[in-house]
Chains A and B, each alone.
Chain A
Amino acid sequence: MAAPEKLDLPPPFEDAMRSLEREIMRFILRLTRDREDSLDLFQETWLRAYRAYPSLRSKSGLRPWVFSIAGNLCRNRARDRRRRERVIANDGRDPEFEAARFLHADHGSHDGVISLRRALAALPGKQGRALIMRKFGGMEYAEIAVALECSPESARASVYQALKKLKASQ
């Protein structure tokens, strides 16, 4: 009789969450630069991940998959915020003041950190997310490609372009 084999199941959801939660929180913090927003998006990321967990085929795809959920949620939040700010600006408020408040809302006041955050914020969305995943998340280009729904070459090019722009801004 052949020996029973093991199924290629993703880990139990709680284990998956425990293994990635700090990385995901850092990723979201870097993208949003706002603690309350980050908390909210972090919870939303994991609740969405749980709902969609049955669609994840194997354990190897877990990391880029959760990063792509978090990245998409952050992008949606930023888009909504931009829309709202546009409406506020039309109401007669100062959009520059709102943007400055948004940028400085996070912890830390070191000049270098702030200028880096500003430079990151100025990057186009895909390049910014690719750079954060590569340099702060330590992800492989293949994983970034899955998270950003593009080819690994495109992910590599996004990181390269982002770095080039950062260097130029210094």
Chain B
Amino acid sequence: MNPSKVTKSSDATAEADDRAVDTMVRRARAGIRRAMKVLRRPEARVGIIASPIGRLMVAEGPRGIAAIHFLWTGAADEALARLRRRFDLLDNETWRENFNRELDRYFRGDIAVLDRPVDLSLVESEFKRRALMRLREVPSGSVTTYQALAADCGAPDAQRAIGTTMATNPIPLFVPCHRVIRSDGTIGNYGGGVKNKLILLRNEGFEVGSSLKLPASAVMGHRRTLIYCRPDCGAARRSNPARALIFADARHARAAGLRACKLCKPG
């Protein structure tokens, strides 16, 4: 047999095989696409961003920011695995650059950047979700305490559970767990490091010194009466702690829509 004929015939068979495979792949794709409509996870963009509080892994899904992870704390693989179980992740450079610019604006003083929507679907417990949503209502320039937040969630004795919730907050910064301090006025711990908590609080107007205590200029505000007082005012002590906030100073309290107490005249 002529060897060139054999080569030609085997090439033709290979081509026919390729065509048959392509046809089958096309047929199968349609079925896969139909089935995937049911199975599909939502898409989320993810990236590593350098910021004044260290390198962060950030993910944003269709409903809002879904995760922020301080990379220096380790366990990035676990955080990524958790995200991948919930979302189809895309490392999108344009989105990463835009997000980086937004974060820069925050660190230059534009606190409104943190009002971006969040997606708490990675939080499994209902109590934790409620606590984190309540925390979102604490305005910039103010802080609350673990105890007050627990009371706000309807469980006044659950300050330790609130501590755990803050420690496992999947979206620090945007769910501002840096705005939760101890009842004695010291700033307490932070999942991203106390140093970073100081940076964030100072960025929002709190002149916290090396004693890690709130400044003397801080005033107590009340979200129901919309009145702010000196910390030693009797009216402030009698108010419901669940609705109380601590503002960096009178200016921040006024900016949040509160008026000065007529008894203690905080300025």
Contacts and interface: CB of A to CB of B under 8 A. Distances in A.
Contact of A7 (B21, B36, B57, B85): B57
Interface in B86-111: 88-91, 96, 100
B80 A7 contact: yes
Contacts of B49: 4
Interface footprint category on B: 20 to 34
Nearest to A38: B24
B173 interface: no
A21 B25 contact: yes
Interface in B69-126: 80-81, 84-85, 88-91, 96, 100
- The binding surface of chain B is classed by DSSP as helix
B55 A25 contact: no
A6 B48 contact: yes
A29 interface: yes
Contacts of B31: 39, 43
Nearest to B87: A54
A51 interface: yes
B46 A7 contact: yes
A-B interface, 9 closest residue pairs, ranked by CB to CB distance from nearest: A54-B84, A42-B28, A54-B85, A1-B50, A4-B48, A43-B31, A21-B25, A25-B21, A25-B25
Contacts of A3: 50
Contacts, number: 73
A35 interface: yes
B263 interface: no
B104 to A, nearest CB: 10
Given A1-B50, A6-B91, A51-B39, A46 B21 contact: no
Contacts of A50: 36, 39
Interface string A50-68: 1101100000000000000
Contacts of B28: 21, 25, 39, 42-43, 46
A165 B18 CA distance: 28
